[in-house]
C-alpha cells in the first residue's frame, strides 16, 4: 500500500514532464550586403528579424573599437528590412558593420560584416598626341547636377584644372588640358560634389606623345576687291598655338595676319594682302608647334574687279559655307545609300541668304552656350529659326554636328548617319545654307549647322 502511494506521484510527474512544450528559439537577425562599392555610390544591407513584425532595426559601424549607431528603420510585416550603409560614402577603406534589432528578447545583433569602399572609376583615352583634345568621362548618379572637375598631380600634390557640371543622370565629360602641348605622362583624378561630400575617382594616367603635325588651309578661291575674305582650316596634332598667313612676294614669303588656333586646332584668318588690287595672290598658313613651324598647302586667291552694269547677284556663300554647298551637291549628284535605303541622285541645291542667317544663328548659339541640339537655347526650333528670317518655306530640314575639324570630316559623319544623309539627299529640298562657328572655350570647339528648305 505504501509503495503504491509512492509510485502514483512519480507517474504523474513523468506524465507532466512529457507534456511540457519545447522552449521557443531566441530571435535572430540576418544581414547581407554587396561587400564592396565605389565611393559616391549608394549601397545597402538587407535581411530579416525572426521575431514579430514592425521591429526597430538599425546599422552600427565600428569606430575605434566601439560601435556607433548610424541609420534606423523598422521591419515590415514579414520581418524584412533594408538599410543604407552611409558611413564611408566619401572615403575609400574597409568598414565593419552590424545590424541591431529591438526584439521580444531584447536587443539582438547580426553577425559583423565588412563593406569595402573603393575609388570610383572614370574612362579616358589613355594616350593622345600633344595638341589633340582628349577627355575623361563617367556617370556618377550622386553627382547629378553638381560640379565635377579634374585634378592633376603636381610635385606630390593635386592641382584643380577644368570644372564642369554633371547632367541630370550624373554623366560628365571633362577635357584633360594639362600637358596638352608637352609630351609626357600625366596623372589625373576626378573630383565630384555629392550631397554627402566630395568623392574622388581612382587616379589614371594620360600619356602625351609627340605627334606628327599637319596644317590644312582653305579659302574662297576668288573674291572681288574690297571684299573681306578668309582662310580657315586646322592645325592637326597641336591646338592653341600661333598661326599666321604668309603671302608670296618676289619669291619670298612675308607674314601678314596672326592669331592662335582654338582648342581643336581650328583657325580663321583674314586674307588682307591685295585686298584693293585685282590679281592672283599666293598664300600659305604657318603654324608654330612644339617641334617647330609647320606650313600648310599653298593656295591662290584671285582678286577681281567689281562687276559693272550687271544686276546685283544673289548672296553667295563664303568659306566654309561654299565648301559645304559644294560637298552637298557632289553627294546629291552621285546618289547615296542612307542606312539601308538607296537614294537616287538629286538636283543641286542653291544657296539662300535667309537660310544662311538661320544656320549662322544656330551655330553661334551652340558655340556660345556650349551645347549641341536642334533646339536652341531660347527654345527655338529649326522651323521657327527659318521663319524668323522671313523665309516662306514649304518644307524645311536641319543637320547639326560638333567637334569635327573639317568640312570633309563633318560631311563623312553626316553621310554615315541615316537621318542626316536623308536630309542631304532629299529631292524635295531646293535651297540650302550652312555655318560653322568655333569657340576654344567650349566642349567641342567647332559647331556646324546645315539648313535645307524649299519655298512656297
Question: What pLDDT digit, counting tens, does each position of 25-73 carry?
Answer: 899 999 999 999 999 999 999 999 998 899 999 999 999 999 999 999 9
The chain-wide mean pLDDT, for the chain, equals 89
171-215 tens-digit pLDDT? 999 999 898 767 889 999 999 999 999 999 999 999 987 667 888
Strand, coil or helix: 216: strand
User: How many of the other CB atoms lie within 10 Å of CB of 351?
Assistant: 18
Judging by DSSP bridges, how do beta strands 127-129 and 204-209 pair with one another? parallel
State the average pLDDT over residues 420-429.
Answer: 95
Residue 406 is given by DSSP the state S
For 12-16, 66-70, 92-96, which range has the lowest pLDDT when averaged over its residues? Answer: 12-16
Is a pLDDT exceeding 70 seen at residue 316? no
| pLDDT in the model for residue 11 | 46
pLDDT of residue 1: 47
Structural domains of the chain, ranges and CATH numbers in brackets: 29-118 (2.60.40.10), 123-209 (2.60.40.10), 215-304 (2.60.40.10), 319-455 (3.40.33.10)
What's the whole-model pTM score?
0.46
Residue 406: CA atoms inside 13 Å, Cβ hemisphere, count?
A: 13
Residue 314 has pLDDT above 80, yes or no: no
Lowest mean per-residue pLDDT among 110-114, 305-309, 451-455: 305-309
pLDDT average, residue stretch 320-328: 91
Mean pLDDT of 15-21: 48
Q: What is the pLDDT of residue 106?
A: 94
Pairwise CA distance, residues 64 & 448, whole Å: 59
3-class DSSP assignment, residue 207: strand
What is the C-alpha to C-alpha distance for residues 90 and 117, in angstroms, rounded to an integer?
Answer: 8
Residue 310 has pLDDT above 80, yes or no: no
pLDDT at 131 over 90: no
pLDDT of residue 385: 94
Q: What is the pLDDT of residue 418?
A: 93
Amino acid at each position: 500500500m505504501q509503495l503504491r502511494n509512492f509510485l502514483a506521484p512519480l507517474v504523474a510527474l513523468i506524465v507532466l514532464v512529457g507534456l511540457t512544450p519545447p522552449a521557443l528559439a531566441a530571435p535572430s537577425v540576418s544581414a547581407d550586403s554587396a561587400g564592396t562599392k565605389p565611393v559616391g555610390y549608394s549601397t545597402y544591407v538587407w535581411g530579416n528579424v525572426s521575431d514579430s513584425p514592425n521591429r526597430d532595426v538599425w546599422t552600427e559601424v565600428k569606430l575605434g573599437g566601439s560601435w556607433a549607431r548610424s541609420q534606423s528603420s523598422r521591419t515590415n510585416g514579414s520581418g524584412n528590412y533594408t538599410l543604407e550603409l552611409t558611413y564611408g560614402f566619401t572615403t575609400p577603406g574597409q568598414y565593419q558593420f552590424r545590424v541591431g534589432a529591438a526584439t521580444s528578447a531584447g536587443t539582438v545583433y547580426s553577425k559583423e560584416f565588412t563593406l569595402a569602399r573603393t575609388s570610383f572609376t572614370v574612362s579616358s583615352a589613355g594616350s593622345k598626341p600633344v595638341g589633340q583634345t582628349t577627355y575623361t568621362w563617367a556617370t556618377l548618379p550622386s553627382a547629378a547636377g553638381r560640379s565635377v572637375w579634374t585634378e592633376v598631380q603636381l610635385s606630390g600634390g593635386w592641382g584643380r584644372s577644368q570644372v564642369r557640371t554633371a547632367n541630370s543622370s550624373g554623366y560628365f565629360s571633362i577635357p584633360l588640358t594639362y600637358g596638352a602641348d608637352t609630351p609626357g605622362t600625366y596623372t589625373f583624378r576626378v573630383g565630384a560634389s555629392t550631397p554627402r561630400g566630395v568623392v574622388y575617382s581612382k587616379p589614371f594616367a594620360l600619356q602625351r606623345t609627340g605627334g606628327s603635325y599637319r596644317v590644312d588651309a582653305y579659302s574662297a578661291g576668288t573674291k572681288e576687291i574690297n571684299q573681306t575674305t578668309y582662310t580657315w582650316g586646322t592645325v592637326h596634332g597641336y591646338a592653341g598655338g600661333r598661326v599666321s598667313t604668309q603671302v608670296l612676294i618676289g619669291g619670298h614669303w612675308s607674314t601678314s595676319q596672326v592669331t592662335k588656333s582654338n582648342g581643336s586646332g581650328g583657325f580663321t584668318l583674314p586674307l588682307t594682302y591685295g585686298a584693293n588690287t585685282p590679281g592672283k595672290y599666293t598664300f600659305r598658313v604657318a603654324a608654330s608647334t612644339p617641334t617647330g613651324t609647320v606650313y600648310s598647302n599653298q593656295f591662290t586667291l584671285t582678286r577681281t574687279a567689281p562687276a559693272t552694269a550687271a544686276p546685283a547677284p544673289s548672296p553667295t556663300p563664303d568659306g566654309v559655307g561654299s565648301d559645304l554647298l559644294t560637298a552637298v551637291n557632289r553627294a546629291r549628284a552621285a546618289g547615296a545609300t542612307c542606312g539601308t535605303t538607296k537614294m537616287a541622285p538629286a538636283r543641286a541645291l542653291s544657296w539662300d541668304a535667309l537660310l544662311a542667317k538661320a544656320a549662322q544663328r544656330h551655330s553661334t548659339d551652340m558655340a556660345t552656350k556650349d551645347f549641341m541640339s536642334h533646339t536652341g537655347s531660347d527654345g527655338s526650333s529649326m522651323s521657327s529659326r527659318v521663319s524668323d528670317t522671313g523665309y516662306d518655306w514649304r518644307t524645311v530640314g536641319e543637320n547639326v554636328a560638333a567637334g569635327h575639324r573639317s568640312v570633309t570630316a563633318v560631311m563623312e559623319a553626316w553621310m554615315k548617319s541615316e537621318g542626316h544623309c536623308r536630309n542631304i539627299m532629299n529631292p524635295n529640298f531646293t535651297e540650302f545654307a550652312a555655318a560653322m562657328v568655333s569657340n576654344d572655350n567650349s566642349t567641342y570647339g567647332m559647331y556646324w549647322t546645315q539648313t535645307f528648305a524649299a519655298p512656297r
